[in-house]
Amino acid sequence: MSSSPSSSYEVPHPHHLWMFDVFLSYHDKYIGKSFALDLSSALTQAGYAVYINNHDLTSGEQRNSAAIKACRTSIIIFSSKFDGSTWFLEEMEKILECRRTIKQVFVPVFYDVDPSDVLKQKGVFGEAFVDCIARGILTEDSSIRYRDALFEAANISGFRMMDTRSQYNEINDIVQGFCHLIEDQKSLFIAEHPVGVEARVKDVIQLLNSEQAENTMIVGIWGMAGVGKTIIAKATYNQMSFTFDCKSILKNVNETCKSGDDGLVSFQRQLLLDICKTTKIHIDTVESGKKILQRSLCHKKVFLVLDGVNKLEQLNALCGDRDWFGHGSRIVITTSDKHILRNLQLDHVYRMKYMDNTESLKLFSWHAFRTPSPKESYADLCRDVVEYCGGLPVALEILGSYLFDRSVQEWKIALQKFKTILPYQIEKKLRKNLDVLDHDNQDVFLKIATLFIGMHKDDVIQTLNYSGHFPEIAISILEDKSLLTIDGNNRIGMHTLLRAMGREIIRQQSMDMAATKMYDVFLSFRGEDCRAKFISHLYISLQNSGLYVFKDDDGIQRGDQISVALIQAVGQSKISIVVLSKNFANSKWCMTELERIVEISRTKGMVLVPVFYEVDPSEVRHQTGEFGKAFECLLSTKSVDEYTKRNWKAALHEVGSIAGVVILKSSDESEDIKKIVDLVTHLLDKTELFVADHPVGLESRVRDVIQLLSRQKSKDPQLLGIWGMGGIGKTTLAKAVYNKIRHDFDAKSFLFNVRDVWKVDDDKVSLQQRLLFDICKTTKIKIDSVESGKKILQERLCSKKIFLVIDDVNKLDQLNALCGDRKWFGKGSRILITTRDDDLLSRLEVDHVYRMKEMDSSESLELFNWHAFKQSTSREGFTNISRDVVKYSGGLPLALQVIGSFLSTKKIKAEWKDVLEKLKLIPNNEVLEKLRISFDGLSDDDVKDIFLDIAFFFIGMDREDVTKILQDCGHFSVIGISVLVQQSLVTVDRKNKIGMHDLLRDMGREIVRKISKDADKEPSRLWHYEDVHKLPIDTSSLAVKGLSLKMSRMDSTTYLETKAFEKMDKLRFLQLVGIQLNGDYKYLSRHLRWLSWHGFPLKYIPADFHQDTLVAVVLKYSNLERVWRKSQFLVKLKILNLSHSHNLRHTPDFSKLPNLEKLILKDCPSLSSVSSNIGHLKKILLINLKDCTGLRELPRSIYKLDSLKTLILSGCTKIDKLEEDIEQMKSLTTLVADDTAITRVPFAVVRSKSIAFISLCGYKGSARRVFPSIIQSWLSPTNNILSLVQTSAGTLCRDFIDEQNNSFYCLSSILEDLQNTQRLWVKCDSQAQLNQTVASILYSFNTQNCEGFSNIETSASNFRRTQVCISSSKNSVTSLLIEMGVSCDVANILRENILQVISFSCPYSQTQHSLYFLYTSQTSTQTHLKFDAHVKVSIY
């Protein structure tokens, strides 16, 4: 019967005319905006929905136009300086139009401006307005129209604010006056779908009219939270209040009065304003307010609604006595506490009725389907929801809205979950009345909710008396608070959702204790039947199995009523064993106990194991036979009402239907007991660890870990590590895996939080003792020391297939003590270790490491939503800011949970924005503490310093670059970065870029900030512009190690004086973005190692800048034309990056940079040449000239760089060739030259022995894959391979020609050196010579069968030319490319024999051979040619 307003901008629905209370408009961005935001905040706190325009938006007039129409009122703030905003003037016209057409209320506020100045456009306001016309911002025609609108607006009565110094008080006066203004002109909004309201309102009005009209009447509306009391009161107010002299409705009294007397005084002031229409009478205290109200109201016929009252002092302050009010007045009070109504001596109390099934289905359908009836396919599910909600409107609305637009399957999943866990929004609503009770009364409520529903009130009181409570008083209070009911038969009842809330509270309270309940087994029995011969043996056997057993005769006094202590013992047990003997059902104690056990089994998930001792299960189920007679005897001799009888029968039927242990005429009692013990120990294994309330994204990760655990097929024990940063969910994942596969093992153990437990010496042994107990189920073996524990564990575990989880390990000693060696464990064992330290896993030599993945954006948003909104989707209007929080959290589950839970109590978007901005500066302490564990665990201060340097300056940079920079600062950066990676504090991706989680970065910054604050000195590293200006000016030296100032592109250029750097003589790292320095550069530190200046403004680096110590210079997007006007000798410089310097025309003198390793000149289009002295760079590793579109050629000296590993020329569109000299670059492994003018691949590139990756002329990939394709392209009919093959300097080329005697002895000497031969050209003039030459060459490539060549018989006259090109790697033939002339017998036979030789030579070789045969012509015009055969072999 209630509704939440929509945030849509469409025209309002007829049933919901207004979507916002206020449209707030202003025109002065500098003065009016600040005031507007303060006023908006005050109106929001007063309970009004405010839409404020935003001059930064560019979405156009249509959006604001629709928003204006959707608002009940509009407020325009006129300030002294008009800024020429046509948007504002158009809004004003629209507002005035809505005032005329849809009766919208319009309120002008004159902030620091006289209304007459606006009316006549004079004074400062008028001058600014005229100036806008003069400058053409306003046309002459439009200015006339706008003048008329300003005249109309200024003539309307509003608020004038001339004293801006008392802005706070003025805003309060505006809000109060505004409240009075609009409350008088509106009917209260009731509900979007007021189902069932009309009939209930009639009932209330009937009560209000039941006495003579001149009498003052007070009527209370009483009922549980969420039943719709406020809606009925507002509907009654709308129908009756207009007939009274004056009226007032005070909403949500209790919530507002939580601040104490101030809240009550504010309500008294509001009531006085509503009734007397004045703010001149001041109320200072509650007591003075009572007197003033009594004097002011007594002559008026008042209609007053006091909504949400729960304390008597609230009523005393607002309607202390009916004599306060004039004749005929009517006062309506809504409350969930009948006690305060009783004290006020009301005329009538209207008890709210729950909605019937028809009403419930209709209201639910409106919210779930936006229609009054459900979709046919959802009908049965809708009935289930309606039954679950029990006629409570708030539950129907919440669940309907949640299920809107979801599939049938999603409904089923949600309903199943709702039956287990009460939705948070419903629980929050229902808990309001419970939370105000003291602890004892809350405890009684929880006991009744979970144990005593349906029982006679007297029986419950008698039972609860044992627990030390005062149950009679507590039950009376709970009834008054609408938390339970007492029916005509004196039986206790409770709304189903209140019961569900009680169970949920119990579940939450016991969640942390779920893994460590007090008892393993609760043993229930009828002593007279079986104690002596059976129970004692069973009890001892259970204890000997390592189980902690509660026996229900242990020190508990017997009687007809069971004690609370016994019920608590049941609730604190994992399993209940009920021994059902012949006379069990003849005991009221036993039957009451059984009823409670069955109830707890249903509500808390406790396992129930029935033992049918000399009783058939069907006799229990149907209460027949001897068992049934005993039950009938109980019912006939004891006073048992029908309700209890029905519950008992249901309990017996339920327990009789459970598969338990049946003992009938047994001759072997010990075997029977063994069955029970085995069953119980097996069932205890089904007690799962609690994983997470919302296990988002967990399933796929569990699957991945289990796959790793199953990968090894051998039966040897296997170790697997789960590695990741703090808060990423390692323990959660380990628990989920444990729950999933623990049943596959003989024994299992989960050792939690080893890091913290290990800190205490005694607890080291306790971990070993715990492991021993979990695996061997015994406490008889005592471990005295860690060393003795190792021996005991090794002896006891080696014969069992074990699943062991060791959680949060941070020292090798821990692993040595708990899983010292694989030999400790039996075949098939699996040990899972969670840690932040990858090095520990390496030293333990685990089989696999699962590296935790951060949550993706979808998973992150869902998890955050569950904690912030208690649902899987964001609240309407909060989606974008939720995504901002998710982005900040960086997929870290801990941060998403903590921040989400913190924001769940913040209902205003502005509060969220403040929280998010604060978090960016100062991280959440709970998250920080978790993350800082790894940092504090770093024993080496050098490593800590490296972490902080990376957090501030080097995220996203190449690992090798960072290593070099930090090394030159005296850090041991190679090992330091490795340690940080092992500890999950730093990441290195496939491109060798250093990364760090945003929250770890923020943690680093917070550590530096806190150290600085505690030491009361400047931070060692600066990253805020404000921090620079806060530095002391009277200090001779500042201990600032690094400075990073990054200004947004949206900001104007920021200027700093170089003089400010004079005291920073320890500065090592300087990073500037959007900054310009004024002054002499000599003031910059002489110890800089790294200079990164995005947008360097000068044409060259000043000579007075000390650069001797620089290791890396990064001046991207600079204005440089040349690097230095006069060359600098920089012996330490290893990295020079001038990318995107569009004015750069000259490269530096490389002879002055002897140790340069990286030269990056990407996107320097004005660069037309590279200095020829680049050949002096003897240590250069990388040259990147990508997109240097003005570059025409490379200097020949560049090919002398035998240290160069990577050459990038892509996008250099004017470079049209690479010289054959490129094969001199012996270290070149990567050549990228795509999108250039180069049209063919030089033969020297293919011949290169070092190139591993190439991207050139459309070929891209590893050389091994690409080179054969390049060679094949040369062998096309249009190409002559001989013309492509050129002899180059440095190539070993052998020519062998013997045309006289067909001798081959000289060939052998060549073949001996074949492994060093790159190109071999052999000219033969006979068939025999051709055959033997080819055979010899193939044999030299380790072929074993060349006999086929000796039998070639063919006419040489048809064989014109054959070329054989063999591409190999390390003398292993991988590609054989053959160019032949006419397809003739010689050629065909040669082809077949080569194939045969290759096939037989390496029949088991793993090398894939690519064989290509190409005939350059299909026919021969010459029939008689001199034999001229050519064989060419090239080895690569």
Q: Is 593 labeled as catalytic in the residue annotation?
A: yes
Give the separation between CA 931 and CA 1142, rounded to whole angstroms.
Answer: 43
- Backbone phi and psi for residue 848, each to the nearest 5 degrees, phi listed first: -145, 155
Instruction: Determine the length of the chain.
Output: 1436
8 A C-beta contact, residue 89 and residue 64: no
CB neighbours (10 Å) of residue 1291? Answer: 15
Q: Which long-range contacts (CB under 8 A, 24 or more apart) does 1081-1086 make?
A: 1081/1105, 1082/1058, 1082/1106, 1083/1058, 1083/1059, 1084/1058, 1085/1061
First to last CA, the chain: 85
Give Cβ neighbours of residue 1153 (< 8 Å, ≥ 6 apart): 1130, 1133, 1136, 1177
Q: Helices 408-420 and 393-403, interaxial angle, to 10°?
A: 140
Q: Helices 229-240 and 197-208, interaxial angle, to 10°?
A: 60
8 A C-beta contact, residue 1109 and residue 1086: yes
Give Cβ neighbours of residue 645 (< 8 Å, ≥ 6 apart): 635
Give Cβ neighbours of residue 1299 (< 8 Å, ≥ 6 apart): 1323, 1325
8 A C-beta contact, residue 1066 and residue 1037: yes
Give Cβ neighbours of residue 1320 (< 8 Å, ≥ 6 apart): 1293, 1294, 1296, 1310, 1314, 1337, 1432, 1433, 1434, 1435
Are β-strands 1042-1046 and 994-995 bridged in parallel, bridged antiparallel, or unpaired?
unpaired
Which amino acid would we find at residue 816?
N
CB neighbours (10 Å) of residue 369? Answer: 17
8 A C-beta contact, residue 369 and residue 404: yes
Give Cβ neighbours of residue 1086 (< 8 Å, ≥ 6 apart): 1065, 1106, 1108, 1109
8 A C-beta contact, residue 465 and residue 208: no
Which is the catalytic residue, given 170, 359, 593, 1223? 593
Burial 734-772 (b: 16+ CB within 10 A, else e): bbbbbbbbbeebebbbbbbebbebbeeeeebbebbbbbb
Strand, coil or helix: what is 192? coil
Q: Helices 123-134 and 140-154, interaxial angle, to 10°?
A: 160
Strand, coil or helix: what is 940? coil
Give the separation between CA 985 and CA 990, rounded to whole angstroms.
Answer: 17
Strand, coil or helix: what is 101? helix
Give the separation between CA 1278 and CA 1103, rounded to whole angstroms.
Answer: 59
Cα–Cα separations (whole angstroms), residue 669 to 530, 535, 541, 563, 666: 12, 11, 12, 32, 7
Q: Helices 312-319 and 261-276, interaxial angle, to 10°?
A: 30
CB neighbours (10 Å) of residue 371? Answer: 10
- How would you class 1411 by CB atoms within 10 Å of its CB: exposed for 0-12, middle for 13-18, buried for 19 or more? middle
Give the separation between CA 1298 and CA 1305, rounded to whole angstroms.
Answer: 10
Provide the annotated active-site residues.
Answer: 593
